[in-house]
Structure 1
Amino acid sequence: MRIGVSLSERGGPDSLVKLTDDVRRAADDGFSSAWLSNIFGVDALTALAVAGAQASGIELGTAVVPTYPRHPATLAQQARTTALAAGPGRLTLGIGLSHQIVIEDMFGYDFGRPLRHMDEYLSVLLPLLDAQPVSFSGETVKAQIGLSVPNEGRVPVLLAALGPKMLRLAAERTDGTVLWMTGPATVRDHIAPTITAAAEAAGRPAPRIVCILPVGVTGDVAAARERAAQAFQVYGTLPSYRAMMDREGAEGPADLAILGDEDTVAGKLEELAKAGVTDFVAGEFLGRDERERTRAFLRTLAASA
C-alpha cells in the first residue's frame, strides 16, 4: 500500500507559495502522492499546475473535482493543461458528483440523475483526455469538440464512488476510485469486492482504491477524537457518507479517524491494506507537535512501502 498525503489549503495571498512548499516537502519526505480537494477555496487543478511546475518527483491528484459545474470538455482542457505544467505522468484526475446540497442548492443544477450524468460525462471527458475528438449527444451532456492542448501522456481518472452502481461505473470506465470517510470494514466487504469484480468482468486492470482518512499519532486520543468530531462534523450529515458510516457501524466521522500511538496507527493502516486499499492518503489535522509526530511516523511507512 502506497502512502500519500492530503494537502491542506492555507489562506492568504501566499497560499499557492505555501502549497508549493507543502508539495515539495511531501516529495522530499518520500511520499508517493499529494492530493488536493476542490471545494470552495482555490481551484485544485490550477493550484496543482502552479505547485507541480515548481516541485517535482511526486504524483499530484485531485480529490475530487465536482463534475456538474464544468462541462467535461472544459475539465479535459484544464486537466491536460495542468498535466503539461506538472510534467508527464504526474497528474491523476479525481472527479466526483459532490452532493445534492452543493449541486442543487448552491450551483442550481439538477441532481436528479447522477449515475446517468456521470456515465455521459465520462463519454466526453475520457476521449478528450486521450486527445481524441468527441461527437456525443446524451440526455445530460452533449459535445461536438476536439482539443489542441499538447498531450504528453495519459491522465488517469479516478471516480469517487460509494454505491454499487457507481463503483461498477468506476471499474468499467476509469482507473479506480478515491474514497473519503470510508472505513476498513466497508472497504473490505463492499468497496473492494464490488469494484474488483466489476473490473474483472469488464476485462479491465485491477482498480486503484485510494482511501483518504483523518490520521493522527497522539498520546491524547480522547482530545484528538473530539477535535475530529468538530472538524469533520458536516460529513456525518451528507447521505452518501452517512451510508458508509452506517455500514462501518460508526456513529460519526470521529470514529473513522485513525488515532493512537505509532503501533496503533500502524495496525489500523495494515487493516486498510488487507481490506484492499492500494493507496492510503493521510489527512493530517492535529496541532503542530502532533502533526510533526504523525508526519515523522508516516515517513517511515512511506520509506518501506
Structure 2
Amino acid sequence: MGWGLTIPLTGVALPAHADLVRALAAFGYTDLWSAETNGADAFTPLALASAWEPTLRLGTAIVPVFTRGPALIAMSAAALAAAAPGRFVLGLGASSPVIVGNWNGIAYEQPYRRTRDVLRAVRAALAGERVDGTFDTFTIKRFKLEQAPASPPPILLAALRPQMLRLAGREADGAILNWLSAGDVRQCLDAVANPDADVVARVFVCPTADADHARRLGKLLISTYLTVPAYAAFQDWLGRGAALAAMHERWAAGDRAGAAAAVPDEVVDDLVVHGTPEQCRDQVQAYLDAGVRTPTIALLPTPEASDPAAVLELVRRLGPAGAG
C-alpha cells in the first residue's frame, strides 16, 4: 500500500519542486505520479524527481496512447526505468478527443483497441522482444529496443468502464482510476476482476475549511471534465447520470457558467475531497480502506497555499506521517 502525490503542482515551476520532492518520503509518501494535459509532459517531471529523491515510486498517469507511437513510448519508459531501477511504473490511457484530436490533430478512433494494441506492443518491446507485425490499429516493422530494461516496468491502464477495467485486470498489471469516490471503488475492482492487480486512484483534494471555495472550484472542474463523453459515461455507470443531467443540458447549450452552477453540492462532495488537511487525509485513507493500493493526491489550489512554505506544510499534513 502506498500514498502518492501528483506533480507538477498547479502554478509551480518544475525546478521549484526539488525541495518538495526531497521532503516527501519523510512525510510518509511512497509515490509520485505525473499527469499530461496541457502543461508538462508525463516523463520530464519524473526524470527530474528520479535525480532528486532515490526511494519514491514514479509513475505516469497517464501517457496517451495516441500522441506517441508505441516505439517512442517504449523508449521513454526504458529510459526512466534505467534512471529509477525498480521504481518506475508506466501508466497508459486513451486520453480524450480534446487532447488527442483538438490539441494534437490526431484522429481519436477506436480508443479501446488502440489502448490494447499499444499495451501489447510496448510490453513486448520492454521485455526485449522484437515487435514486428500488424495490430488492429497500426503496423510495426522490426522494432527492438537497443537496451531493454533488465527488469521491465509494470504497466497500468487508465480505465473508466467495464471493458477497459477488464483489460487492465487481464493484460496489464493494474488500473489507474480517476474521478470516483471511495464508495465507487468496489464497483471498479469488481470489473477489474483480478485480486493481484495494482490499483492507483487519483484523488482530487482541496485542503481548506472554506467549503464554498472548494465547491466552486469542484463544480468548475466537474463541468469541464465530466462533460467529456468517456467521463460522462463513467459517471452514468457509477449511478450519477441523473444528478449530472442538468449540467450536461446546460453544457450542450453552450452555457458553461450554468453548467458549473448545475453541479449538485453532493456530487462535488463525493468527487472532491475537502476540509482541513487532517479531514482530507482521513477521506483519502477511505480509498485505501476500499481496496485502492495507492491513492494519489491531486492538490487543488486553496486560499491557504499562498507561498511555497505553506504548500509544503499542506503536503506534510496530508501525508500519512502528518498524523504523528
Bin the TM-score by the shorter chain: 0.7 to 0.9
Relative distance call for 1:53 and 1:248 in structure 2 (3 A) is farther
Matched residue type, 1:97: A
Relative distance call for 1:19 and 1:104 in structure 2 (3 A) is same
State the SS of the aligned residue for 1:209: strand
Return the match for 1:254 from 268, 274, 278.
Answer: 268
Relative distance call for 1:41 and 1:296 in structure 2 (3 A) is closer
Q: Are the counterparts in 2 of residues 46 and 82 from structure 1 also a CA contact under 8 Å?
A: no
Q: Are the counterparts in 1 of residues 316 and 322 from structure 2 also a CA contact under 8 Å?
A: no
TM superposition shift of 1:138: 1.5
Q: What is the RMSD computed on CA atoms of the aligned residues?
A: 2.5
Aligned to 1:202: none
Aligned to 1:269: 284
Return the match for 2:227 from 237, 261, 266.
Answer: 237
Matched, 1:17 2:15: yes
Q: Are the counterparts in 1 of residues 278 and 318 from structure 2 also a CA contact under 8 Å?
A: no
More moved, 27-36 vs 91-100: 27-36
| TM-score between the two structures when normalised by the length of structure 1 | 0.86
Residue-by-residue CA offset, 1:41-83 (whole Å, 9 max, x unaligned):
2222133113312322101111111010111111001111122
Residue ranges of structure 1 left out of the alignment (5+ in a row): 200-204
Relative distance call for 1:4 and 1:111 in structure 2 (3 A) is same
Matched residue type, 2:318: L
Q: Distance in 2 between matches of 1:170 and 1:24?
A: 32
Aligned to 2:201: 211
Q: Distance in 2 between matches of 1:8 and 1:229?
A: 22
Aligned to 1:58: 56
Residue-by-residue CA offset, 1:254-274 (whole Å, 9 max, x unaligned):
331111245643553343223
Aligned to 2:298: 283
Identity %: 29
Q: Are the counterparts in 2 of residues 186 and 244 from structure 1 also a CA contact under 8 Å?
A: no
State the SS of the aligned residue for 2:319: helix
| TM-score between the two structures when normalised by the length of structure 2 | 0.81
Relative distance call for 1:101 and 1:42 in structure 2 (3 A) is closer
Aligned to 2:212: 222
Residue-by-residue CA offset, 1:111-141 (whole Å, 9 max, x unaligned):
2311111221122100111222212212312
Relative distance call for 1:99 and 1:2 in structure 2 (3 A) is same
Relative distance call for 1:10 and 1:181 in structure 2 (3 A) is closer
Relative distance call for 1:92 and 1:55 in structure 2 (3 A) is same
Q: Are the counterparts in 1 of residues 90 and 153 from structure 2 also a CA contact under 8 Å?
A: yes
TM superposition shift of 1:206: 1.0
TM superposition shift of 1:231: 4.6
Q: How does 1:19-38 map to 2 (within 5 A)?
A: 19-38=17-36
Q: Are the counterparts in 2 of residues 33 and 60 from structure 1 also a CA contact under 8 Å?
A: yes
